[in-house]
Amino acid sequence: MTLSSTERKIIENSIRDIKDFPKQGIVFKDITTLLGDKEAFGVTMNHFYQRYKEYNLDYIAGIDARGFIFGAALAQMLGIGFVPIRKKGKLPYTTISEKYSLEYGMDEIEVHIDAFSAIPNAKVLLMDDLIATGGTARAAAKLINQAGASCLEACFIIGLNFLDGQKNLKEITNVYSLIEVN
């Protein structure tokens, strides 16, 4: 399933570029404007629904925090459960965690140890808004698999092709980006 040129234009026009954020030389892709545009958000979510309705998924896992928005909405549309993957220390029950590299240091994400236990060998779609270097998404896909489920694909609104995140993540799972930026 591919976007029509009209759908692509609607989505691309709804994403705001913010220069020099969070630091000099970076062009930040702001999806809050997509969320506030009912037509663009509708086109986005309908596309994801059409793409994933035949995958027979059991859960969608969303990465803290923007992955929660798209993931929870799609889970509801598909009639399946949603699992949050959070930054370390944000979940109240027993968790498993995965560390990953940042530009300057390390960070860690976690998921409840029993997040996927209701369905043995659960099939999971991982969602977030953007993939850049892929450290967080790679750690999240590993967590899904460590928790006894199977990460079938990682899905993003935007894929930054000029970075190696998608390529590195493909070593673990399939990757799909709605809009690709070269």
The DSSP result for 62-130, as a single string, is: EETTHHHHHHHHHHHHHT-EEEEEEETT--SS-EEEEEEEETTEEEEEEEETTTTTTSTT-EEEEEEEE
Known catalytic residues are: 66, 103
How far apart are alpha carbons 14 and 41 in whole angstroms?
Answer: 9
Strand 81-87 relative to strand 105-112, pairing = antiparallel
Strand (E) or helix (H) holding 37:
none
How far apart are alpha carbons 7 and 69 in whole angstroms?
Answer: 20
